[in-house]
Structures are given as structure tokens and as C-alpha cells.
Structure 1
Amino acid sequence: MNVPLGAVVRGAVSLAGAALIGWGVYGIAAHVGVGGWVTWFAGAAVLHDGVLVPLVLVAGVLTGFVPAAYRRAVRAALVTAGCVTVVALPMVLGKGRRADEPSRLPLPYDRNFAIVLAFVAAVAAASVAVRGVARRRRRAR
């Protein structure tokens, strides 16, 4: 029987992945406890399905009203801003900050977050402007 090399590699990678998933599940069960990770996974599912998916759907519908030539830049900016927000929100809200330990979260995260979002918006606006100028030049020819 002649088995293609790709099938062998795929099978080996799948087995390695399954073993790593098993090791991770064992680690979670052994170190966090069943109640902790079940709560975390259930909370993540509720947050994803109840908050994130509806927000993305509404954003997709609203960006449908943006002219097609600029839609990609607007959606890219929204995705980037969303990812930055997910990462920055705990620091902006001060999660983990303690009065007795001033070196923990010492920076002005809210200001820095606003600067990053402004930069994302500026890049998107520049992309839209460049695209608009290029369209006008093509029409003029």
C-alpha cells in the first residue's frame, strides 16, 4: 500500500495536536479545578455569543452603508480598534492596580489607548483619502 507523504505528515501533526490539547486539558483540570475552567469557558461562550458576535454583525451592517471603495479601510480600522480594545481594556480599567504597589500599572493607559485609537483612525482616514485622490485622477484621465 502506497500512502502519500502528505497524509502521513497530516496524521502525525493531528496526533501531536491532539496530544497537546489533552495535556492542556489535564493541566487545566489539575491546576485550576473543574469549576474554575468550566466557569471561564461558559463565560467566554456567553461573552462571545451574547456580546461580540452581535457587535460585529451590527458593525458589518453599518459599514455596508460606506461606499464600496472605502469599505475595506473602514472595516480594517474597526477590526484593529477592536483587537486593541480587547488587549488594552483591562489596563485602561485598572484591573490589577493596587494602592500599596504603585509600580503595578504605573502608566496613563487611558491616554495611550486613545492615542493608539487615534492613530488607527488616522491611518484609515489617510487610506481613504489616498484612494479617493487616486479615483479622481483616474476619472480625470
Structure 2
Amino acid sequence: MRWLGYAIGGAFVALGLTGLVQDIDPVGWALWAGGVLVAHDAVLVPVVLLAGVVVRRAGGSVRAGLVVAGLVTLATLPTVLALGRRADNPSILPLDYGRNLLIVLVLIALASGIYETWTRAARGRAARGKGKRGDRPG
């Protein structure tokens, strides 16, 4: 199965490279790809590492909530920034996407906070229950 995956992946890479050479300005694409790589290495990675240091003692659900919030923000950034909106067509990106993103982020924060509180309380009950059961015979 691994070799089949390699073959399919290689075919997609070859298809992408063929399309790149035929349809896109290779110099423009190289500049764009270089910009993405610099942005990734100079901005995104340090921010993620710093966030990891800050929340390293937080619970798993808090960290998971931050990952989900980051991915949702990244995925919706083009709509929040209104990329593609045109004045002559008001039906393109008609909603307040910034406000909607904030609502979704608040909901993610609430869900992860509630779950973290619930799991900590459950662990506390389990720890107290162990001590009580251990004192009783048989």
C-alpha cells in the first residue's frame, strides 16, 4: 500500500509541476512560494513555538482549542480580509465575516474551557473516590 501511495502522490506532483510550467509564470510562482516560505519560517513558526511555551502547562483541551481556533482563523482569513470582494457585485462576500469569526472563536474558547473544567472536576472526584474506597475492607 505504501508504494501505491508513493506512485499516486508522485503522479500528482508530476501533474502539478506540468501545470505550473505550462500555465503559470514560473518566476512569479517562485517569488510567491519564496514569500510563503519566509512568512512560514519567520512568522508562523515563532508564533506557534511561543504559544506552545505559554500554554505548555494548560490542559489538553485548552491546547486543542487553540489549535482549532488557529486553523479556523487561517482557513477563514481570505474571507475576513474580503479578498475577492468587488464593489460592482455586492453578493460576493456579503456578510460580516470578522464578527462571525469572533463568534466562532468565542464558542471554541467556551467549549474547550467547559470541557477542561469538566475533566479536571472528574479527575478530582476520581482522586477523592480512590482514597475513600481504599479505606474500606473488601
Q: So what's the TM-score if we normalise by structure 2?
A: 0.86
User: Does 2:69 align with 1:77?
Assistant: no
After TM superposition, the runs of 4+ consecutive aligned structure 1 residues lying more than 4 A away are none
Residues 139 and 16 from structure 1, CA distance in 2 versus in 1: closer, same or farther, beyond 3 angstroms? closer
Q: Structure 2, unaligned stretches of length 5 or more? A: 130-138
Provide the C-alpha distance between the structure 2 equivalents of 1:79 and 1:17, rounded to a whole number of angstroms.
27
Residues 14 and 122 from structure 1, CA distance in 2 versus in 1: closer, same or farther, beyond 3 angstroms? same
Provide the C-alpha distance between the structure 2 equivalents of 1:93 and 1:85, rounded to a whole number of angstroms.
11
Q: Structure 1, unaligned stretches of length 5 or more? A: 1-8
Amino acid at match of 1:116: V
For residues 24-63 of structure 1, give each alpha carbon's deviation from its aligned partner in whole angstroms, at most 9, with x where no partner exists. 1110121111012111211111111011100110011001
Aligned partner of 2:119 in structure 1 is: 131
Aligned partner of 2:2 in structure 1 is: 10
What's the offset of the Cα at 1:12?
A: 4.0
When the two structures are aligned, how many residues end up with a matched partner? 129
Q: So what's the TM-score if we normalise by structure 1?
A: 0.84
Aligned partner of 1:20 in structure 2 is: 12
Identical amino acids, percent of aligned pairs:
42
Q: 2:39 aligns with which of 47, 51, 61?
A: 47
Provide the C-alpha distance between the structure 2 equivalents of 1:73 and 1:121, rounded to a whole number of angstroms.
10
Higher relative contact order (CA 8 A, sep 6+): 2
Residues 12 and 136 from structure 1, CA distance in 2 versus in 1: closer, same or farther, beyond 3 angstroms? closer
User: Does 2:82 align with 1:97?
Assistant: no
